[in-house]
Structure 1
Amino acid sequence: MDGVEVVVAHNERATLRVGDVFLKVDADQARIEVEVEAMAMAPIPTPEVLWRKPPVLALAAVPGTALGRLGEPSTASPAAWAAAGAAVRLLHDAPLPPWPGRSLDEIASSLDAECAWLLTNGVLPTDLVTRNRQVAEAALRPWTPVFIHGDLQITHVFVDGDELTGVIDWSEAARGDALFDLATLTLGHEEHLDDVLAGYGTDVDLDVIRAWWSLRSLLVVRWLAEHGFDPASPGCEIDVLRSRM
């Protein structure tokens, strides 16, 4: 054991690593309950729950390494990206969780509010927000709900060689749009979208995935800035928005 590593920490939650154990500290017990239940339901590899003592959840480390990081080239093989796509398809084909996700109206309302904040505060140029708001419209359509991870960033997907070894951080799991998961997984890594879809194994609407790239990026800029992250880092959310221009 080499001491305590702070994996992530902000005023909503914190994750610490001690050896091969991750300690998730979250004052929102409903979020922890969702995470535990979602991992139990998911038909793909997830972390082992070691113990739970509110507000702490202890999880075993998942073997392997993350598929990549936003803003950095991924060194994972095309087969590893395809394995991630195949795992997402298994999840989406699984029985729905009993709790709902965000509704279409809730997402549209949040998008309006975040775009207004970005423009009012001069955070991003008007043409950048306006163009991406237009692109995002394609995601705001009815969908058939599936079991989604809800925060399928590439840092949450672990692989060993060409094999998927686990998916972590299930606190946002819910019923939702399948293409949202696929877009989150490939955000900032468009060059791997074909590999993911090869593993996913079914045709999808690429315009909707592009729309989710814009929509998700618009929604998170303020949150990231307020919680000590930099959405303007090279290859990250603001660059994703610029790529749509």
Structure 2
Amino acid sequence: MAISWLGISADSPFPPVDQATSHGLLAAGGDLSLTRLLNAYRQGIFPWFNAYDPILWWSPNPRMVFQTDNLHISKSLKKALRQKPFHITFDQDFEAVMQACAAPRQAKVPAEQHETWIHNEMIAAYTALHQAGYAHSVECWQDEQLVGGIYGVSIGKMFFGESMFSYQTNASKIALVALARQLKMWGYPLIDCQVYSEHLSRLGAMTLPRESFVRQVQQLCSLPGQSGNWQTITSPFNYEP
């Protein structure tokens, strides 16, 4: 199947998501402008490509999501939460979270397999989304050092998770718990996880058929949500269940 190439204009339409390949690849080209990124997310489409490659746009089927009221917290994670190991913030250092997510996962995979999709072009684009009030981060701090976090995109009452990192045991999981609890308080029912992973499945993520996912995304993105910087409007994280 031939892949569609997007037009030059940031408003040029994406092809219907059911035209994606079996791996979820939908289109190539275009740019990472604010307008195009927001149009993509509202249709259940996201960019994912290596540095120096063309921009690639994806809409996999099925789609993995968390329900914010159904996060699975294991016994070991409950124990970690009771110890209150980190200071949790929102939107305090978005770019640092992205940079940490972009760093190689030390000693876990061969160097040639290190993630390269969070490169300078992506960091610049999502920092612009953050400055416009659409992209957000959760930070875990220990002794004033950033040790874990997660970032993603919020439109209306839908949150699209992008990546997370952990320098200390359970830091990324606790960042996810903090995010899910805050979103639940605000009436956000879903966190998009993009593609299936066993790790996310153990945390309670589930898969949705793409048609159902896109339908819910379009509905949720049309609702009023929490825009702007989340640093001052989030509630202090309560470690208690």
> What's the TM-score, normalizing by structure 2?
0.28
Which of the pair is proportionally richer in helix? 1
> What's the TM-score, normalizing by structure 1?
0.28
Which of the pair is proportionally richer in strand? 2
